[in-house]
A and B are shown apart, each in its own frame.
Chain A
Amino acid sequence: MDKTVLQLAYKPLRVILIIVSMYYFLRGHNSPGGGFIGALILSAGFIFQAMAVNTNSARRSMLIEPEWYIHIGLLMSIVSSIPGWIYVNTPMTGVWTTINLPLAGDIKLGTPLLFDLGVYVCVFGVVTSMSFQFLKHIKWN
């Protein structure tokens, strides 16, 4: 009986958690938040789904396998070190540009943001991958 309640609840909860996670991630550079926190919140949504329904459903909702997120995240973080190498001759130095968008105004973009995004994606992959493995092998559902 409670299963069905959970199964009804997971979808809106997941949406909320995704939005909250994005919010925390994006404002992370200036206010509390950032890649780690955002990723942990995001994974909570999917772990909740995996526990409520099953891991396969959660994996499907993630579009690609969680392990891929780990790889992509690591790669992004490593790639973000390259511009500093090229422009300042020291890998991992932050390089910033400002772009002007019609609606949002001036937006500062820099390699640290890409790095943080890498952390976000990687940690998301790590946490979901770990949890799914546990759930699957212990035959939660």
Chain B
Amino acid sequence: MLTMLSIGILAIFPLLFILFDEEQLKKHRYVLLLPLLVNILAGTIWFFQLQTGPIEHHFQWITILNIETIFRVDWFSWYFFMLINVIGLMVFLYASAYMKSYDGYKRFFTFLYIFTAAMNGIVLAGDLITLFVFWELTSICSFLLIGFNHREANSRNASLTALLITAAGGLALLTAVIWLGNLAGSYDIQKVLNLSNALHRDSLIIIFILIIIGAFTKSAQFPFHFWLPGAMQAPTPVSAFLHSATMVKAGIYLLFRFTPMMGEMVHWYYVLSLTGVITMLLGSFSALFQSDLKKILAYTTISALGTIVMLIGIDTKMSIKAALVFLLVHALYKASLFMLTGVIDKIKGTRELKEIGNLWKSNPVICIVAILSLLSMAGLPPMLGFIGKEVMYDAKFQAPGIARLMLLLSVISNAFMVFISIKLMVLLFLPNGNQPSSHSSKSKPAMMAGPVAFTIIAFVFGLAPYSLSDFFGNILSQITFTPVQIQLKMWHGFNVVFVLSLATILLGLLLWIFENRITGLFLKIYRNLFTINLTHSFQHIIQYFLKFTKIQTNRIQHGVHRYYLMIIFLFSIAYIWWKLLMTGLYVPTFNTENVSLLTVVVTSIMLLTVGLIVTTRSRVVAVVALALIGYGIALLFMTYGAIDLAITQIIADTLTMIIFVIVLQKLPRFARLSSKRSRMRDALIALSVGLSITLLILKADMVNIHQPVSDYFVENSLTKGKGQNIVNVILVDFRSLDTLGEITVLAVAAIGIATMLSFTLNKKSHG
């Protein structure tokens, strides 16, 4: 129940916003933290329950398809859950202050709550279908959040790009999920993973590719990475949340989850580690050339994600451990840095690196926190980042295969990170000749709480990493299905890893010292390497696609409705004739069994009247003729035992005529609009339609395949329906759902008419 509550409270909480208006909500903004506090409490309770084993909740969903909603909390999902909600708490606190000057406070928090709920849903989901539903929900919410400033073209484009890419990945994931579910006979993740050994390996490769696409699009891996820097169009709190604990971590979560199943595949190893390496290098290298603070951070996120994916790909116990630790490291420093960027943005009114400067004098607190976070990012002691980097090097050093090469590349990538950290520290905090701007230099406590808290956590764990050992050991046992003991230490002794760390730092320092000489060279490489701007190419593709569809649509949907109808008619005729000829034409015999003089007379009159409707040029004659046909049909109903129908037909017909007369008096006379040739053509089509229908009906009379369902109604009308009028009993009892649908349609038609007639065009653009 607690799992449902923790997701539900986030999803339902925004409904309370109805009670407040925007100003009141801003005033009582601390209420906003409530759901997250509840979740953290839930997490604490689970912490104790988890000591005895995983927690599971099952809910029936679609029994016929064997789909259950399962929520399952194990150490691994607990880890993510706490990451999301603790960072979420700080982000919400931060956002409550940050967004105060923006319009759409309520809208923002509604999206953010649903997004958080969806994120929690992903990590708590115990079955693939539920996982997928929440997965898609995060894509949609991130679309709304990135495009929050929807009046700016940039944000709209960025959010659309993000949505298209993540939703495409979602489709791939859906295919994989259904496939896996069918193979395993269950959507329960635990069962699917357990059965993995029995699965046929060939189909597993396709599933693997699909899952990889899903995870890579979400986690911004090469070549899908380009949506992430664009996503910085979102308000800063959102960026902080997306980049640190949510969204991009969903893909990572998925990869972790499927490690036990697919980790042993060769493809898994190569695809993941190579993509990871490329993404890692690409991210950190691109970050060198950005001047916008948020963009720099966005590229470092890509790099960090690449690192994690690579570590998952290597798939040794060491590397999984490293990935888990690095995940925490990254979440802490990235959230903190993004929040600080927002603070700086508020103080200085800019995020351009060159224009900030000189922060040390005005805001020493920001500087200290930022420096510590940057140290963590650079992987320097005494922060947790150091531990993260150490275990990462260690994992690669001990792993077989191409891991050694990766080790070298990660050293380079990390050196870039060190360089970026140093550059940021220097440029931001030391005086550079810029005048302090006139913006208020006070930072709000609510906005500083998050960075300070995360930095303290990273600092404490950095000094005492062994306190995390047991916890990560637990998670690791869950992922690898074998009990694992791990040790996290600050000082591993003087070994290769330590040397590598030293080399990284030295390399970073050297880069910084020779910055002026190197930058030109790097920029050249960068330009030559990335001549194709993926973001732009993607948008071009989308634009060409839109153009193409427009041309296509104009060709097919030319707007002359008669030709649409003509095509429909011609095809129907052709189809009917084909079927008739295939099954043999029925030659009708005239049987006089139930023909009466009355019906013959009535029918003859109707046939004449039909001719009148088609040929007359008088509207009144046409309407009267139409009414006559209606009455004739009523008479036929009467003759063959359908009294209810006859009455209804007569009244409905009369009412139709009344409305016809009312409207017609306001409309022009019939004009002869078509040429003689087109009239002949239409007459030909019409006659063949009529002939086909006649033959079809005669044929249909011959076919009687099934026992009529009516027998049941006749037998049970009096006993079960308590009525002698079987038609009425069918309407209000046996088939009452149909009738309900029908009166709903009528209601909609009535409302439609009322709106349409009352509706007036402001612009008379149509001449």
- Which chain A residues have a beta carbon within 8 Å of chain B's beta carbons? 24, 28-37, 40-41, 43-44, 47, 51, 67, 70, 73-74, 77-78, 80-81, 92, 94, 96, 108, 110, 112-113, 115-116, 118-119, 122-123, 125-127, 129-131, 133-138, 140
Name the residue on A nearest B659 (C-beta): A134
Q: Kindly name the residue among B733, B744, B751 whose own CB sees the greatest number of chain A CB atoms within 10 A.
A: B733
Please state if B662 and A140 are interface contacts (CB–CB under 8 Å).
yes
Chain A at the B interface: SS class: helix
Q: Which residues of B contact A74 (CB under 8 A)?
A: 743-744, 747
Q: Which residues of B contact A47 (CB under 8 A)?
A: 655, 658
Q: How far is the CA of A130 from the CA of B644 in the complex (A)?
A: 23
Please state if B658 and A92 are interface contacts (CB–CB under 8 Å).
no
Name the residue on B nearest A114 (C-beta): B732
Please state if A134 and B663 are interface contacts (CB–CB under 8 Å).
yes
Q: Which residues of A contact B579 (CB under 8 A)?
A: none
What would be 17 A-B contacts, judged by CB atoms less than 8 Å apart?
Answer: A31-B724, A32-B647, A33-B644, A36-B648, A36-B731, A37-B644, A40-B655, A73-B743, A94-B720, A126-B746, A130-B750, A131-B655, A133-B753, A133-B757, A134-B662, A135-B662, A138-B665
Please state if A115 and B724 are interface contacts (CB–CB under 8 Å).
no
Please state if A130 and B663 are interface contacts (CB–CB under 8 Å).
no
B736 within 8 A of A: yes
Known A-B contacts A44-B651, A116-B732; the reply to A78 vs B740 at CB < 8 A is yes
Report A78 CB to chain B, min CB distance, Å.
7
Please state if B725 and A31 are interface contacts (CB–CB under 8 Å).
yes
Q: Which residues of B contact A112 (CB under 8 A)?
A: 721-723, 729, 732-733, 736
Q: Which residues of A contact B731 (CB under 8 A)?
A: 34-36, 116, 119
Please state if B722 and A110 are interface contacts (CB–CB under 8 Å).
yes
Please state if B743 and A118 are interface contacts (CB–CB under 8 Å).
yes
Q: Which residues of B contact A137 (CB under 8 A)?
A: 757-758
Q: Which residues of B contact A136 (CB under 8 A)?
A: 757
B499 within 8 A of A: no
Other-chain contact of A29, B662, B722, B746, B751 (Cβ < 8 Å): B722
Q: Which residues of B contact A133 (CB under 8 A)?
A: 753-754, 757-758
Name the residue on B nearest A140 (C-beta): B662
B541 within 8 A of A: no
Report B726 CB to chain A, min CB distance, Å.
10
Q: How far is the CA of A74 from the CA of B751 in the complex (A)?
A: 13
Report A18 CB to chain B, min CB distance, Å.
15
Q: Which residues of B contact A140 (CB under 8 A)?
A: 662
Q: How far is the CA of A29 from the CA of B726 in the complex (A)?
A: 8
Known A-B contacts A40-B648, A78-B740, A127-B655; the reply to A28 vs B725 at CB < 8 A is yes
Q: How far is the CA of A113 from the CA of B733 in the complex (A)?
A: 9
Q: Which residues of A contact B739 (CB under 8 A)?
A: 77, 115, 119
Please state if B725 and A30 are interface contacts (CB–CB under 8 Å).
yes
Other-chain contact of B658, A32, A78, A131 (Cβ < 8 Å): A131
Please state if B747 and A34 are interface contacts (CB–CB under 8 Å).
no
Q: Which residues of B contact A96 (CB under 8 A)?
A: 722
Q: How far is the CA of A40 from the CA of B746 in the complex (A)?
A: 13
The 9 lowest CB-CB distance pairs between A and B, nearest first, are: A29-B723, A40-B651, A30-B724, A34-B728, A32-B643, A112-B733, A126-B750, A112-B732, A126-B746
Please state if B754 and A129 are interface contacts (CB–CB under 8 Å).
yes
Other-chain contact of B736, A32, A67, A92 (Cβ < 8 Å): A92
Known: A112-B732, A126-B750. 14 other contacts (CB 8 A): A31-B724, A34-B725, A36-B731, A44-B654, A77-B736, A77-B743, A96-B722, A112-B736, A119-B743, A123-B746, A125-B747, A126-B746, A133-B754, A134-B662
B426 within 8 A of A: no
Q: Which residues of B contact A127 (CB under 8 A)?
A: 655
Q: How far is the CA of A92 from the CA of B720 in the complex (A)?
A: 13
Q: How far is the CA of A123 from the CA of B749 in the complex (A)?
A: 11
Known A-B contacts A37-B647, A140-B662; the reply to A67 vs B754 at CB < 8 A is yes
Q: Which residues of A contact B753 (CB under 8 A)?
A: 129-130, 133-134
Report B288 CB to chain A, min CB distance, Å.
65
Please state if B728 and A116 are interface contacts (CB–CB under 8 Å).
yes
B41 within 8 A of A: no
Known A-B contacts A29-B728, A115-B736, A138-B662; the reply to A126 vs B723 at CB < 8 A is no
Q: Which residues of A contact B750 (CB under 8 A)?
A: 67, 70, 125-126, 129-130
Q: How far is the CA of A125 from the CA of B648 in the complex (A)?
A: 17
Q: Which residues of B contact A119 (CB under 8 A)?
A: 731-732, 739, 743
B686 within 8 A of A: no
Q: How far is the CA of A92 from the CA of B739 in the complex (A)?
A: 11
Known A-B contacts A94-B721, A108-B722; the reply to A35 vs B662 at CB < 8 A is no
Name the interface residues of B657-680: CB closer than 8 Å to any CB of A. Answer: 658-659, 662-663, 665-666
Q: How far is the CA of A35 from the CA of B652 in the complex (A)?
A: 14
Q: How far is the CA of A47 from the CA of B651 in the complex (A)?
A: 12
B737 within 8 A of A: yes
Other-chain contact of B724, A29, A37, A77, A118 (Cβ < 8 Å): A29
Q: Which residues of B contact A70 (CB under 8 A)?
A: 747, 750-751
Report B626 CB to chain A, min CB distance, Å.
17
Report B753 CB to chain A, min CB distance, Å.
5
Other-chain contact of A130, B647, B659, B724, B740 (Cβ < 8 Å): B659
Q: Which residues of A contact B746 (CB under 8 A)?
A: 122-123, 126
Q: Which residues of B contact A94 (CB under 8 A)?
A: 720-722, 733
Q: Which residues of A contact B724 (CB under 8 A)?
A: 29-31
Q: How far is the CA of A118 from the CA of B654 in the complex (A)?
A: 23
Report B759 CB to chain A, min CB distance, Å.
10
Known A-B contacts A40-B648, A77-B740, A115-B739; the reply to A28 vs B728 at CB < 8 A is yes
Q: How far is the CA of A40 from the CA of B652 in the complex (A)?
A: 7
Q: Which residues of A contact B758 (CB under 8 A)?
A: 133, 137
B618-659: contact bitstring with A at CB < 8 Å (1 yes, 0 no)?
A: 000000000000000000000000011001100110110011
Other-chain contact of A92, B662, B737, B757 (Cβ < 8 Å): B737
Q: Which residues of B contact A110 (CB under 8 A)?
A: 722
Q: Which residues of B contact A125 (CB under 8 A)?
A: 747, 750
Q: How far is the CA of A110 from the CA of B720 in the complex (A)?
A: 11
Q: Which residues of B contact A116 (CB under 8 A)?
A: 728, 731-732
Other-chain contact of A32, B644, B722, B747, B754 (Cβ < 8 Å): B644
Q: How far is the CA of A134 from the CA of B658 in the complex (A)?
A: 10
Please state if B732 and A35 are interface contacts (CB–CB under 8 Å).
yes
Name the residue on B nearest A51 (C-beta): B658
Please state if A122 and B648 are interface contacts (CB–CB under 8 Å).
no
Q: Which residues of B contact A129 (CB under 8 A)?
A: 750, 753-754
Please state if A32 and B725 are interface contacts (CB–CB under 8 Å).
yes
Name the interface residues of B521-578: CB closer than 8 Å to any CB of A. Answer: none
Name the residue on B nearest A109 (C-beta): B722
Q: How far is the CA of A122 from the CA of B747 in the complex (A)?
A: 7
Q: How far is the CA of A130 from the CA of B737 in the complex (A)?
A: 24
Q: Which residues of B contact A122 (CB under 8 A)?
A: 743, 746-747
Q: How far is the CA of A46 from the CA of B666 in the complex (A)?
A: 23
B703-733: contact bitstring with A at CB < 8 Å (1 yes, 0 no)?
A: 0000000000000000011111101110111
